[in-house]
Structure 1
């Protein structure tokens, strides 16, 4: 059975109203961004939290907490005043899956260089944006400047490759969108330009909704899923990302329940 855009939007808006609320954030690395009312601190928390956002969510939360706790409440001041030797010593025992203390130290020193050159991560990201909708250039600019200071490994994805860059798009969702869940801060970037962060859950949902038939969650898949949501909500295609991905992450919300709510229809969008 095919049903139209308005019917699907109505269903998704019901899910948004029910689950796009702060009580449903934990466990999610987004939780850490709420501790930083200053955008200069929040963007640093966001890029660190998103860079480690792979693997089991409980382990992600532990890793991000371990890093941010060491950095203290003034993240901007910490990064600006960071000394390479002190940073290396502080994080020498850090290890999270493929990420080592050396990678993390290189990331922090790279962020220091970005801030020295542009004033903030947001300023670096938007310096040549001029209202454009291709956000890959801003991501690449931050990554390129960071890597000049050392080997940050896989912590920052390369938007020039074929991957979905899920963690990068997650970071942008946090910093660009502003609602009950996403704290925002980068107000000059239109939400309409965002790409859906495609993790294992959104990959399944994209197939469920008929937005993609890709066999892997690559960049083409992310673009197809985003386009599907853009037909429903052109101004904010990533609006439903958080509420949909609660299913399969939160206890008591599983994918079978979501599939039942959507009734496994094929949506004519």
Structure 2
């Protein structure tokens, strides 16, 4: 497969379609039309997006059944001391009830202080930033101050140099808006987004000659994002969903 704009646009038109959402945790985000609920569900779904798809979907469903149809209202009415008991017995690989409780404690407090997760995130945003890493780091610091300590691996510390794949996935979902990504946030411009880099996307990007790096770290994610940015300057992660779907449907293209 080539990495020119014509080929990537062809893949986008074929695979960036709602009917492929059943293979992605992003599908759950589409069930919540109100932005206060959607941003919470997106953060949850992205945070749990590791492991087998069937297990990811099961775990997200279990949590959403507890949070109910209006997660933002549910968390606002829930005391901090109640949170660990709500998810008692929950286990998603390394994630346990206490991790979820810490995540939602931080979410609840940020909503109380700033009015929404978007307004909290916006505190670290600048149009002069090349990409979202500075704002992501500022958001992480706010979450720590709001009680994230104890959430373990669910929200990564951007200062440690990892690709922060799941946070970049969350931002793609909540910032971009098309047939697949529901969007909602306006504080970040799509041109600042970073490709959600993992082993799978690293293999795709190397096959497309978008990076020569072997590690699937932050440097590789930035290198690939800049390469995509030369093809689509205003929306470098435009092809992310389509490429992951095509790699499953036509893996021979990336051999």
TM norm. shorter chain > 0.5: yes
Question: Does the Cα contact within 8 Å between 2:124 and 2:138 map onto a contact in 1?
Answer: no
1:247 Cα shift?
A: 3.2
Structure 2 CA distance, aligned partners of 1:234 and 1:60?
Answer: 32
Task: Provide the secondary structure at the position in 2 that maps to 1:246.
Answer: helix
Question: Does the Cα contact within 8 Å between 1:94 and 1:100 map onto a contact in 2?
Answer: yes
Question: Does the Cα contact within 8 Å between 1:114 and 1:146 map onto a contact in 2?
Answer: yes
1:158 Cα shift?
A: 1.0
Q: 1:22 aligns with which of 15, 18, 21?
A: 18
Higher helix proportion (structure 1 or 2): 2
Match of 2:97 in 1: 101
1:86 Cα shift?
A: 2.0
Unaligned stretches of 5+ in structure 1? 265-269
CA distance 1:146–1:40, shift in 2 (3 Å): same
Match of 1:124 in 2: 120
2:1 maps to 1:9 = no
Matches within 5 A, 1:4-83: 8-83=4-79
1:116 Cα shift?
A: 1.4
Structure 1 CA distance, aligned partners of 2:246 and 2:186?
Answer: 29
Runs (4+) off by over 4 Å = none
Structure 2 CA distance, aligned partners of 1:248 and 1:211?
Answer: 16
Structure 2 CA distance, aligned partners of 1:127 and 1:196?
Answer: 22
Structure 1 CA distance, aligned partners of 2:133 and 2:75?
Answer: 24
Larger Rg: 1
Q: 1:139 aligns with which of 136, 140, 149?
A: 136
Question: Does the Cα contact within 8 Å between 1:169 and 1:196 map onto a contact in 2?
Answer: yes
1:236 Cα shift?
A: 0.5
Structure 2 CA distance, aligned partners of 1:119 and 1:137?
Answer: 22
1:96 Cα shift?
A: 0.8
TM-score by length of 1: 0.89
2:233 maps to 1:234 = yes
